[in-house]
């Protein structure tokens, strides 16, 4: 009775990155930031639907009659819904870009990116509270309230992930020279390595075969004493 040999080889696998959650959260923040930026731009472009802009003829007529209305930032106190909408639109445009940039840094494991994302999230929650208060007190339209509710749910849902990623990055910071290139880095050798990893086309394979055959023939002549190396 023969004993079946056991497989004693050890399965060596690459250990997971200690900042895997940070990288995943960074990808999520990139998507969210892009959607926030684009959607806010679209909403700002449709602002004339709920706040019509007076035509040039009407403005000139009001100026001629002395009935032109002068508007300033101080008037926002008497129009909290308008102030809340303006604050929400302004921050979500810039905040969307901030989420996108810090999310890209988190995915690339850049130092400080998780801290920036955490600060942006905290500021977004503060803006949502202030703007939401103005929208509800001022009796804003249902569309504005619905948009605010959706943004609130999204930011609050992603906040725990950002905090967890910030803690993960603080406990396992990346190397400071993660993306530094040494002074003796051979760019040509790196390009050759990339070309060798890429699949060869039939023409490239034929050219490489011809080059190798020529080199082999040269080595044979050297060994036979017909040619001396340098």
Residue range 49-63, pLDDT digits in tens:
655 555 667 666 766
Question: Residues 55, 128: contact at Cβ < 8 Å?
Answer: no
Q: Looking at residue 31, what is its pLDDT? A: 92
| 5 within 8 A of 75, measured Cβ to Cβ | no
d(CA 202, CA 208): 10
The structure tokens listed for 56 are 């040039």
Q: For the chain, give the mean pLDDT.
A: 78
Place of tokens 């940039």: 101
Confidence (pLDDT) at 108: 85
**SS3 of residue 230 by DSSP:** coil
| Residue in 163, 96, 101 with CA at minimum distance from that of residue 127 | 96
Phi/psi of residue 107, each to 5°? -65, -30
Q: How confident is the model at residue 133 (pLDDT cuts 50, 70, 90)?
A: confident
Residue 207: the pLDDT is 86
**For residue range 135-188, what is the model confidence (pLDDT) as tens digits?**
888 777 787 788 889 999 999 999 999 999 999 988 888 776 666 666 776 777
DSSP per residue, 150-192: HHHHHHHHHHHHHHHHHHHHHHSPPPTTTTPPPTT--HHHHHH
191: pLDDT confidence band, cut at 50, 70 and 90?
A: confident
| CA–CA dist 76, 53 (Å, integer) | 17
pLDDT of 67 reads 60
Judge whether 162 and 29 are in contact, CB under 8 Å: yes
Contact 33, 93 (CB under 8 A): no
pLDDT at 140: 73
Query: Do 112 and 105 form a contact (C-beta atoms < 8 A)?
Result: yes
- Residue 200's nearest CA partner among 210, 208, 188 is 208
Neighbouring CB atoms inside 10 A of 11's CB total 5
Q: What are phi and psi of 72, to 5 degrees?
A: -140, 170
Residue 1 pLDDT greater than 50, yes or no: no
- What's the confidence (pLDDT) of residue 12? 43
Percent of the chain residues topping a pLDDT of 90: 22
- In the structure, what pLDDT confidence band is assigned to residue 73 with cuts at 50, 70 and 90? low
Q: Quick count: other Cβ atoms within 10 Å of Cβ 163? A: 16
| Look-up of token digits 């995943």 | 24
Model confidence pTM above 0.85:
no
């Amino acid at each position: 009775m023969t004993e079946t040999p056991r497989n004693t080889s050890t399965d060596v696998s690459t250990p997971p990155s200690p900042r895997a959650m940070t990288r995943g959260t960074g990808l999520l923040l990139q998507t969210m930031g892009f959607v926030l930026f684009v959607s806010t731009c679209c909403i700002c472009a449709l602002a004339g639907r709920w706040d019509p802009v007076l035509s040039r003829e009407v403005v000139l007529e009001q100026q001629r009659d002395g009935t032109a209305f002068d508007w300033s930032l101080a008037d926002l106190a008497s129009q909290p819904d308008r102030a809340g909408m303006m604050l929400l639109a302004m921050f979500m445009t810039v905040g969307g870009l901030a989420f996108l940039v810090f999310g890209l840094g988190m995915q690339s494991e850049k130092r400080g990116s998780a801290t920036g994302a955490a600060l942006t999230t905290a500021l977004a929650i503060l803006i949502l509270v202030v703007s939401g208060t103005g929208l509800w007190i001022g009796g804003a339209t249902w569309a504005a309230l619905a948009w605010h509710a959706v943004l609130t749910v999204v930011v609050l849902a992603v906040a725990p992930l950002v905090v967890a990623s910030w803690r993960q990055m603080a406990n396992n910071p990346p190397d400071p020279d993660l993306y530094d290139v040494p002074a003796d880095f051979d760019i040509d050798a790196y390009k050759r390595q990339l070309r060798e990893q890429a699949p060869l086309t039939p023409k490239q394979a034929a050219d490489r075969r011809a080059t190798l055959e020529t080199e082999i023939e040269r080595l044979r002549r050297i060994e036979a004493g017909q040619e001396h190396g340098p």
